[in-house]
Amino acid sequence: MNKQFCVIGHPIKHSLSPLMHNYAFCNLEKQIGFRGYYGRYDLLDGEKLIDVFWDLKLHGANITVPYKEIAFAQSDVVDGIAKKIGAVNTWVLKQQKIYGYNTDALGFYHTIKDFGFKHVLLLGAGGSARALATILQQKHIKVSILNRSAARLKNLKEFECFTLQNFVMQDFDLIVNATSASLHQELPFEEILLKEIFKTARYAYDLMYGKTRFLDFASKFVPICDGRAMLIAQGALAFELFCGKEIAQAHSLMQSILQ
């Protein structure tokens, strides 16, 4: 049996998800009992997300920037932590209903859980920052959020939030760049502030993968990690949801193809 999957977003051509998922589908056909094919779809009008899902006869999809909130709204059923986050990055078709999940949050947590961080500073207040803050709070790790502007902080009232105007320096041990500044090869904040923040930090993390100005600057002070580990972890969790069971090898297969 063949099943079709897809990543949907805009822009989408840089996405590594088709490579990761097709490699896993190709290698695990016997174990999962079907042959999966995974494509990409560049969607310009987010309101058409659900139409695209049905038109392409998909069994599942990953929904990425900037449509995770629309995916949440268009899901028939929202499961797990996605309900609290208000954003969905994985759709699975079950009995003709679209089930929505968020694997970004747990994917991120998998990558940091063994480090014993006590106080995380999230830079940025968009959808990813909300996912990360929710899982960190759920796992009893203190979290603070710093954003360049106040508007989006209104959606994050249950967390400690700052703009530059009221920012209070604390002993943050993990600094996560959850802004999209790296997409434009920009720093999220001025060097002088970042330098101050890195004084107490043990680690710097950028959700974007590859070389970024943020990680380049952070590496002068602390060890660094880019978004690749999170990409693989959220992808492996989505893959298991597509297959409806735990697949121990999914993570290592996805990791090996991205090396």
Judged by the rule CB under 6 A, the positions of this chain that interact with ligand NDP are: 65, 104, 124-129, 147-149, 152, 178-183, 186, 188, 207-209, 227, 230-231, 234
* Nearer residue to ligand NDP within complex by CB, 3 or 172: 172
| Closest residue to ligand NDP: CB criterion | 126
Length of the chain: 259
What distance in Å separates the CA atoms of residue 172 and residue 200, rounded to the nearest whole number?
6
Q: Report the Cα 31 to chain-centroid distance in Å.
A: 27
* Nearer residue to ligand NDP within complex by CB, 36 or 188: 188
Q: In the complex, what is the shortest distance from the CB of residue 168 to ligand NDP, in angstroms, rounded to a whole number? A: 19
Q: Pick the catalytic residue: 68, 94, 154, 211? A: 68
What distance in Å separates the CA atoms of residue 105 and residue 68, rounded to the nearest whole number?
13
What distance in Å separates the CA atoms of residue 212 and residue 205, rounded to the nearest whole number?
10
Annotated active-site residue 68? The verdict is yes
* Nearer residue to ligand NDP within complex by CB, 23 or 76: 23
* Nearer residue to ligand NDP within complex by CB, 29 or 186: 186
Q: In the complex, what is the shortest distance from the CB of residue 237 to ligand NDP, in angstroms, rounded to a whole number? A: 11
Angle between helices 104-112 and 228-243 (to 10 degrees): 130
Q: In the complex, what is the shortest distance from the CB of residue 35 to ligand NDP, in angstroms, rounded to a whole number? A: 26
Asked whether the CA dihedral 186, 63, 251, 115 is positive or negative, the reply is positive
Q: In the complex, what is the shortest distance from the CB of residue 122 to ligand NDP, in angstroms, rounded to a whole number? A: 9
Contact call for residues 239 and 59 (beta carbons, < 8 A): no
Q: What residues act catalytically? A: 68
